[in-house]
Amino acid sequence: MTGSRAVTQPTRPGSSCVLCKHGTTAPGTATMTFDERDTVMVIRNVPAEVCGNCRQPYFDQMTTKRLLSLAEEASRAGVKVEIRDYVECTPAQR
Mind listing the pLDDT tens digit for each residue in 3-59?
Answer: 444 555 646 778 899 999 999 999 999 999 999 889 999 999 999 999 999 999 999
Average pLDDT over residues 68-77: 93
- Structure confidence at residue 11 (pLDDT): 64
- Structure confidence at residue 84 (pLDDT): 93
Contact 27, 70 (CB under 8 A): no
**Low-confidence winner among 18-22, 58-62, 80-84, 89-93 (lowest mean pLDDT):** 89-93
- Indicate whether 94 belongs to any domain: no
pTM assigned to the model: 0.79
- Indicate whether 1 belongs to any domain: no
- The whole domain housing 52 covers 7-86
- Indicate whether 26 belongs to any domain: yes
- Structure confidence at residue 8 (pLDDT): 57
* Distance from the Cα of residue 7 to its chain's centroid: 8
Range 8-43 burial, b when 16+ CB lie within 10 A, else e: beebeeebebeeeeebebeeeebebbbeeeebbbeb
Domain count within the chain: 1
Q: Which of 54, 47, 42 is nearest to 11 (CA)?
A: 47
